[in-house]
Structure 1
Amino acid sequence: MCPNSWVIEMASHKELMHPQLNPRRIRPVNQAFVRPTRGTTTLPTNPVFADLQTILSVLKATGLLPIYEQVSSFELGPPTKPNEFYSFFVRGVVHALTIFNIYSLMTPNSAKLFISLRETDNVNQWIELLLCIFTYTLTVFVCARNTKSIIQVMNEILKLDQEVLRQFGIALSNHCNFSIKFLVLIAACQAYIIFLRIKALSGVVSPTTYILIGFYAIQNGLTATYIVFASALLRIVCIRFQFVNQLLNGYAYNQLLGKNPRQLQLHMDKFPEDSLYIYRTHNRLLRIYKSINECCSLIIVCFLGYSFYTVTTNWYNLFVQITSNKGIISTHIMQWCLAWLCLHTSLLTLLSRSCGATTHEANTTSQILARVYGKSKEFQNIIDKFLTKSIKQEVQFTAYGFFAIDNSTLFKIFSAVTTYLVILIQFKQLEDSKLEEQEVV
């Protein structure tokens, strides 16, 4: 039988209502995968994304996500016309403010936004600000283009969880409580950065400057929020890969040691049916994983570039402060740099860990399958088909195809930061030597 034609025989309604009639369906599952529910028969609204309600509300209110309609507990519908108009209006306001801020940067008042130390420092801050504007503008464009795709991804996750609930009688957890913590971190860092910037302003400050500062903070905050959302989606997919791997691991050779022949035979009798379910679910998860990558990869590659430059310039500013010949260290600049470093380093760590963990779990399935006990020819044929399919599938989360994002990405970014930091320091030394020559003359 062709693997693509495999089907899963679902349990009947009678069997689901009376688990004792279908003991093969309800089995012990690691409690780490189980989400506590209120009551035994009532499911919470949108149970899969219950942990993400706050971050979803922020993204929907700012036009980065569509204001979808809830059809049922396990299905989302497209936004209504008024909600579509609202999202379109918000995006229009965003683009208008972006054009206004780019124009404002060309005026003399924009100089108050920068910590003017030397020509090299000003150039770095201009590039950083333009990268922020470009990243957020691109995020808005990509989110508008991927409205249907992101709803489809969320629906696929909901349908998969609904099937798990029917098959095994459990509700999978999400482990996405970190999203609230990161929202608080983003809000706190941006508020503190605004406070430091306004405090450093001198002279008469125009309303345009305040608008530019405020919108700059909003751009940073919303781009960071979308990165947290993408990481949360990956965490949800990672948990489901882990669940599939746990089911498959129950048939591994080391798990079957010590069972008597009768127990072993009864246990392996379930393997053909369960393997079909695992195979289909694994393929669905791979499609969801790929869809998330397609929806978010362009945004992520721009964010990585922006974060790389921000981390580099702030380390450079710290270096300038520490090695200043005047011996005066500005606590204002130190706090400014540390706030930016805290925000972007934590986001880069979260993204790298989420991508790395999901990729690892997706690739672990074939490794577990290779250890499955296949005594009969029928079992071995099923294993061989699954392994052949898995070997041909290269699973990795990429930054728009340029490079893979995994646990090593953070190390690579900081290696590049170190290299670019050395170049900036050399420019600073060259600029200092020119100033000294001018003073001597």
Structure 2
Amino acid sequence: MSPNTWVIEMNSHKSRLFTHPQAHPRSQLSNDAFARRAVSNDNPVFEDISTILSVLKASGLLPFYEQLSSYEVGPPSKTNEFYSFFVRGVVHALTIFNIYSLITPNSAQLFFSLRETDNVNQWIELLLCIFTYTLTVFVCARNTKSMLEIMNEILKLDKEVLRQFGVVLSNNCNFSVKFLVVIVCCQAYIMVLRIYAVKGAITPTSYILIAFYAFQNGLTATYIVFASALLRIVCIRFHFVNQLLNAFTYVQQQKLAKKSRRQPPVSNMEHFPEDSLFIYRTHNKLLRIYKSINECCSLIIVCFLGYSFYTVTTNWYNLFVQITNNKGIISAHILQWCLAWLCLHTSLLALLSRSCGATTYEANSTSQILARVYGKSKEFQNIIDKFLTKSIKQEVQFTAYGFFAIDNSTLFKIFSAVTTYLVILIQFKQLEDSKLEEQVQNEV
């Protein structure tokens, strides 16, 4: 879904743009349903992601914050803070137990491959999963206050938009629930496949390893969906600001001029100075929110990208091994296992890349739209020049902890790297097979 199709519920924002800011108070809205939503006690910003927020709160990745009003959240109470601390302690204890179990013979039955290269890949994948989730817990605990500040900044910004324009922005973040269902289904299916593949009686330690492995994967993926939803929310607000500014462009002014020949004159640029102050202030706030989200999530995202890269590579490798084996027998179990992992991680990488790319595009489009604003007086031109001068110095991009920018091309870059590493793994496999053949010939 492209940003241009995202819903913005507003009462003719272009007509508002050319009138006084208080011309459309909430009580004068013609749409009754819209008016009821505007004055309700529900939080319209995080309503679409309430399910995923509940999951993250219950798992300790987000605090049980207090809802002070429709447009303000407060820090968690002492009881809720203790609960989050307790859950994180349990998670770290289980992580230590799992690492200990992996280096003991208790985990031997979970590794069913006889090839050395395959075993190394499985070990690296498991360790990356544990490391990614443990780091996610640490970073979320450290950034609790920062995340609450981001949520409050978004709420305050929406409150200003409602007061200034009588507008409630719709977020269209229902994808978060769909992805949550996909994550649960994939992890449950993978658990069943793992248990089914184990030969003999499964030990309690193996059950714990399998369950916690699925739990780690599921919550890390859930946090990535949450970060993508936050970016979508910010992107829609950038898009709203760009729409407001776009009404002052030269093309729009020409359309209004043609329209005014047949109808009474429409006031267009006379409110540009006061409206531009709101637009510039809102744009700067959105930039701060955008950068704060990047600072809070970038370390988690870069680890998740590394883990996803390795998981996608190993599963493509397993598919290649199954298809090219000499026996001509393809294991349906391994095919289902690989396809489940590829479906989960590819969809998450696509969601993250698209959300980052769309938000970056909208953030950088503001200065481009402003350059097309029709300023027929020196006063208007000075306002435009000042903002353009400031915008040129600001490079807006969402980065993976500063290593590289995440945008629409990230998915292509990851799969390019996967192809390169896959060739290396295949070469190791061929080298290992040739050594086995030599040993067999020597024994004969």
TM-score, normalised by the number of residues in structure 1: 0.91
**Which residue of structure 2 lines up, in the alignment, with residue 129 of structure 1?**
126
Q: State the secondary structure of the residue aligned to 1:266.
A: coil
Q: Does the 8 Å contact 2:360/2:407 carry over to 1?
A: yes
Q: State the secondary structure of the residue aligned to 1:171.
A: coil
Q: Does the 8 Å contact 1:307/1:344 carry over to 2?
A: yes
Cα distance in 1 for partners of 2:168, 2:118 equals 53
Cα distance in 2 for partners of 1:35, 1:120 equals 65
**Deviation digits for residues 192-235 of structure 1 (CA, Å, limit 9, x no counterpart):** 00000011111121101100000000000000000000000000
Unaligned runs of 5+ in 2: 1-15, 25-30
Q: State the secondary structure of the residue aligned to 1:160.
A: helix
Unaligned runs of 5+ in 1: 1-18, 28-33
The answer to whether structure 1 residue 276 and structure 2 residue 277 are counterparts is: yes
**Which residue of structure 2 lines up, in the alignment, with residue 9 of structure 1?**
none
Q: State the secondary structure of the residue aligned to 1:270.
A: helix
Identity, % of aligned pairs?
Answer: 80
Q: State the secondary structure of the residue aligned to 2:36.
A: coil
Q: CA deviation at 1:37?
A: 4.5
When the two chains are superposed, the root-mean-square deviation of aligned CA atoms in Å is 1.7
Partner amino acid, structure 1, of 2:90: V
Match of 1:80 among 77, 95, 118: 77
Runs of 4+ in structure 1 displaced over 6 angstroms? 261-265
**Deviation digits for residues 58-116 of structure 1 (CA, Å, limit 9, x no counterpart):** 00000000110010000000000000100000000000000000000012121222231
**Which residue of structure 1 lines up, in the alignment, with residue 12 of structure 2?**
none
Cα distance in 1 for partners of 2:158, 2:336 equals 45
Q: Structure 1 55/35 Cα, relative in aligned 2: closer, same or farther at 3 Å? A: farther
Cα distance in 1 for partners of 2:321, 2:32 equals 50
Moved more, 68-77 or 203-212: 203-212
Partner amino acid, structure 1, of 2:336: Q
**Which residue of structure 1 lines up, in the alignment, with residue 355 of structure 2?**
354
Superposition pairs for residues 6-405 of structure 1, below 5 Å? 23-25=20-22, 37=34, 39=36, 42-260=39-257, 266-405=267-406
Moved more, 238-247 or 252-261: 252-261
Q: CA deviation at 1:260?
A: 3.5
**Which residue of structure 2 lines up, in the alignment, with residue 431 of structure 1?**
432
Q: Structure 1 181/379 Cα, relative in aligned 2: closer, same or farther at 3 Å? A: same
Q: State the secondary structure of the residue aligned to 2:83.
A: helix
Q: Does the 8 Å contact 1:38/1:44 carry over to 2?
A: no
Partner amino acid, structure 2, of 1:430: L
Moved more, 255-264 or 168-177: 255-264
Q: Structure 1 177/437 Cα, relative in aligned 2: closer, same or farther at 3 Å? A: same
Q: CA deviation at 1:121?
A: 0.3
Cα distance in 1 for partners of 2:281, 2:274 equals 11
Q: CA deviation at 1:47?
A: 1.5
Partner amino acid, structure 2, of 1:53: S
Cα distance in 1 for partners of 2:339, 2:114 equals 18
Q: CA deviation at 1:122?
A: 0.3
**Which residue of structure 1 lines up, in the alignment, with residue 10 of structure 2?**
none
Q: Does the 8 Å contact 1:35/1:173 carry over to 2?
A: no
Cα distance in 2 for partners of 1:54, 1:162 equals 23
